[in-house]
Amino acid sequence: MRSAVFYEGREIRVEDVPTPTPAPDEVLVRVGAAGICGSDLHHYRGANPWGQPLRTVDRRGHELAGVVVEVGAEVRGVRPGQRVGVEPTHLLGCGHCRPCRRGAYNICRTRETGGMERRRSAGFSEFDVAPAANLFPLPEDVSLDVGAIVDVYACAVHALNRLPARDVNAVVVIGTGAVGLTLGQVARATGARKVIVVGRREAALRAALEVGAADEVLNCNGAGDTGEAVRELTDGEGADAVFETVGGEGDTAAQAVAAAAFGGGVVVIGCFTRDVTVSYHEAAAKEVELRWSNGYSSWRGRREYQMALDLVAGGRLRASPLISHRFTLEETAEAFAVAADKRASGAIKVVVNPQPAVT
C-alpha cells in the first residue's frame, strides 16, 4: 500500500510499505480521511514537547476515519463495509495501572510505550489497523472527513469535562486553531451562556463567529491586554472558565490566568514546547484553579470519543466548515506545508484523503 513516511520530521515521501495485517482483536480500515493535528506539526518542525526521543523515520496520522475491510478472528460487533471513526492507538493504556482501572487511560504512565509493538495510528496511509474497541460506527449524516476530526472534538469534550462551562458567567477560549474552534462549539452546544474566543488573526476570529464557536471575539496580544479586554466584556469580573488551546512557546498560559475571574478555573490544552510561566501573584490572589487536559479517554463510564460523535451527529455542531483544505495522499507534503503556515494559507483543519473513492 501507499503511505506517507516522515524522515527527520520534515521530509515527507509517499512510499510503498507492507499493508498491515490485523491481530485477532484488530480491524483493518481503508482510510478515507486523516486530519493533520497540531501535534503532527510540532514533530514536523522538529519540536518534542513530550520528551520522547524524536523518531528519525516515522509514520503519522491519528485523526482518521474509513471503512472496515478485514476483521481479526476474535472481533465481534464490527463488520467489513462499516464506516467508522477511529480512536487513535496512541491513547491506548496498559489496562492495569490505577488511572487505567478507573477509565482514565489517557494518563496511563506507560501509554504509547507499554509493551505493545504498535502504538501509533498511521492514517496518512491507504490502510491502517486499530483494536476493534477503538472503532466507532459513523452515523449516515457524518462524512468520513468529519469522522476524521471527531478526535479533535473528543479533546474538547474532555477539556470541558475537566472544567464544565455550564452555569458560568463566561467562557474564554484562547486560540483560533481547530482545537479552539471545536472547544467553542462544544461549549456553546452544551449550555455555555457566553463564549469569547481570543486570537490574533482577524480572519480566524471571523471564522470563529461564522462556525458558531463564539458569541464574541477579541483580538489580543499579551496577558495584560487579554485580562483587561475580557473584564470589559464580563462586567469587570473576568471569566469563570478559561481554556488555553495555543501552546508552543508563547505566553498564552499567562493570558489565561489574566482572563480568569477571582475563583475561576483555567484548563491548559495547548501543547507547549517549553515550561510555562504564570504570574504567582495573580494566580494566588484569584485562587485560580489551574488544570491540564491531555487527550481524552472516558468520563463517568462513557467514552469521550462517543460523546463527541453524538454531538457532531446530532447536527448541533457545524463540523464540516472547519475543514478548510483537502489533499490526496500523494500530496501529503503539500498538505503539511499548508497546515504549517496558517497565516498565509488560512488553514483551520487540513485533511488528507488517502482513499477518497470509499465515501
3 state SS for the chain: CEEEEEECCCEEEEEECCCCCCCCCEEEEEEEEEECCHHHHHHHCCCCCCCCCCCCEECCCCEEEEEEEEECCCCCCCCCCCEEEECCHHHCCCCCCHHHHCCCHHHCCCCCCCCCCCCCCCCCECEEEEEHHHEEECCCCCCHHHHHCHHHHHHHHHHHHHCCCCCCCCEEEECCCHHHHHHHHHHHHCCCCCEEEEECCHHHHHHHHHCCCCCEEEECCCHHHHHHHHHHHCCCCCEEEEEECCCECCCHHHHHHHHEEEEEEEEECCCECCCCCCCHHHHHHHCCEEEECCCCCEECCEEHHHHHHHHHHCCCCCCHHHEEEEEEHHHHHHHHHHHHCHHHHCCCEEEEECCHHHC
Q: Is 94 in the site for Zn ion (CB under 5 A)?
A: yes
User: Least separation, in Å, of the C-beta of 252 and Zn ion?
Assistant: 18
Residues 14-43: x/- map of binding to Zn ion (CB under 5 A)? -----------------------x------
User: Least separation, in Å, of the C-beta of 90 and Zn ion?
Assistant: 9
How many residues of this chain bind Zn ion (CB under 5 A)? 6
Q: Is 108 in the site for Zn ion (CB under 5 A)?
A: yes
Q: Which is nearer to Zn ion, 127 or 153 (CB)?
A: 153
Q: Which is nearer to Zn ion, 17 or 94 (CB)?
A: 94
- Tell which one of 23, 69, 97, 133 touches Zn ion (CB under 5 A): 97
User: Least separation, in Å, of the C-beta of 338 and Zn ion?
Assistant: 17
Q: Of 274-293, which residues contact Zn ion (CB under 5 A)? A: none
User: Least separation, in Å, of the C-beta of 352 and Zn ion?
Assistant: 14
Q: Is 107 in the site for Zn ion (CB under 5 A)?
A: no
Q: Is 180 in the site for Zn ion (CB under 5 A)?
A: no
Q: Is 100 in the site for Zn ion (CB under 5 A)?
A: yes
User: Least separation, in Å, of the C-beta of 100 and Zn ion?
Assistant: 3
User: Least separation, in Å, of the C-beta of 81 and Zn ion?
Assistant: 27
- Tell which one of 66, 85, 93, 184 touches Zn ion (CB under 5 A): 93
Q: Which is nearer to Zn ion, 153 or 327 (CB)?
A: 153
List residues binding Zn ion (CB under 5 A).
Answer: 37, 93-94, 97, 100, 108
